[in-house]
Amino acid sequence: MGINLKELSKQEDFFTSGHRACAGCGPAIALRQALLVAGKDTVVSFSTGCMEVVSTIFPYTAWKVPYIHSLFENSAATMSGVEAAYNALKRKGKIKKDINLIAFGGDGGTYDIGLQALSGAMERGHNMLYICYDNQAYMNTGIQRSGATPYGASTTTSPSGKVIPGKTRRRKDLTEIMAAHNIPYAAQASISDWRDYMTKVEKARSIKGPKFIVVFAPCQLGWYYKKEDTIKIADMAVKSRFWPLYEVENGVHKITKDPKKVIPVEDWLKLQGRFRHLFKGENKKIIEEIQREVDMRWERLKKLEEAGL
């Protein structure tokens, strides 16, 4: 199993150009990469969010596969129903080919208000893939903090100032929450490591049952960095180990990329305006706390891998 770049370059795009995403939009890259792997025999359910808004403004669409716009909180539930209908039609002989069933959602519609529907779909065992594009805030509605927003980040609902130094809570570890459902496959990926991400999508397609992938997809509008630096920002998150690339297959953790040259998380933070306040005065201690947590999580992940857990 692997992704051939030469063959990939000849593939038709099923998430097309011409949509209204911002220049330098990380989630748009994540969608295009996933659809290049999934191909034309795919049905998509998509929760309300920034990528739904920019790609399906009536009467236009950037999708060249069957697409269902669901509510903010129920993309997984919608795809559960599609899977049940698909199975019924296959039993009756009305559909013979295999179809990829992919539900998409942003971190707001996945980590938070869509978690119940996602958990239910995973627990029931629907044969579907759920992909969360993680840009770490509710970007569509005004850059409010979400369960994916990192500790210390400034958002419109956790603004840095005299009262609080940005978000005061740690981000939710959704990959481990999904792995705890005992599903056959859960993984973390990044748009900067396209081969790793697309290989994980390909692997998920080959596995029967519920699958989950969360892909790191920076947002230049909400993170306040130069729009041409999107891939650089994503790559530095991996190299600092802030965002480990790994998978959990049948309960066994495996790191899929161990950075050869690890950079301090501070180098990643300082390129983003949402963390600018951390480099002033007593807030600098928060950078040390973030680094300690990054190191702790990495060591925990290494121990799980070494133990075959």
Which tens digits make up the pLDDT trace of 52-81? 999 999 899 999 999 999 999 999 999 999
Out of 3.40.1740.10, 1.20.1740.10, 3.30.450.90, 3.40.50.970, select the CATH number for domain 22-306: 3.40.50.970
Taking 70 as the threshold, does the pLDDT of residue 116 lie above it?
yes
Q: Which residues contact 163 (CB under 8 A, 6 or more apart)?
A: none
Specify the pTM.
0.96
Q: Give the whole-number percent of the chain exceeding pLDDT 90.
A: 94
Q: What is the pLDDT of residue 162?
A: 92
The encoded tokens of residue 167 equal 């978000």
User: What tens digit of pLDDT does each residue of 126-147 get?
Assistant: 999 999 999 999 999 999 999 9
CA separation for the pair 54, 135 (Å, rounded): 15
Instruction: Name the β-bridge partners of 160.
Output: 165
What is the residue-averaged pLDDT of the chain?
96
Angle CA(113)–CA(43)–CA(117) in degrees, nearest 5?
20
Cβ distance 26 to 227 under 8 Å?
no
Residue 7 has a CB neighbour count (10 Å cut-off) of 8
Cβ distance 284 to 270 under 8 Å?
no
Residue 237, SS3 per DSSP: helix
Confidence of residue 2 (pLDDT cuts 50, 70, 90): low
CA separation for the pair 29, 22 (Å, rounded): 11
Q: What is the pLDDT of residue 10?
A: 81
Q: What is the pLDDT of residue 299?
A: 98
Taking 80 as the threshold, does the pLDDT of residue 3 lie above it?
no
Taking 90 as the threshold, does the pLDDT of residue 7 lie above it?
no
Helix ranges (DSSP H) in 74-155: 75-91, 115-124
CA separation for the pair 73, 47 (Å, rounded): 7
CA separation for the pair 113, 101 (Å, rounded): 21
User: What tens digit of pLDDT does each residue of 211-237 get?
Assistant: 999 999 999 999 999 999 999 999 999
What are the phi and psi torsion angles at 277 (to 5°)? -70, -20
- In whole angstroms, how far apart are CA 293 and each of 155, 158, 174? 21, 20, 16
Cβ distance 204 to 100 under 8 Å?
no
Angle CA(89)–CA(90)–CA(96) in degrees, nearest 5?
120
Taking 60 as the threshold, does the pLDDT of residue 1 lie above it?
no
Taking 90 as the threshold, does the pLDDT of residue 8 lie above it?
no
User: What tens digit of pLDDT does each residue of 143-198 get?
Assistant: 999 999 999 999 999 999 999 999 999 999 999 999 999 999 999 999 999 999 99
What's the half-sphere exposure (Cβ side, CA atoms, 13 Å) at 224? Answer: 13
Cβ distance 218 to 230 under 8 Å?
yes
147-169: buried (b, 16+ CB within 10 Å) or exposed (e) per residue? Answer: bbbbbbbbbeebebeeeebbbee
Helix ranges (DSSP H) in the chain: 5-9, 26-38, 50-55, 75-91, 115-124, 174-179, 194-206, 220-223, 230-239, 265-269, 284-306
Domain ranges of the chain: 22-306
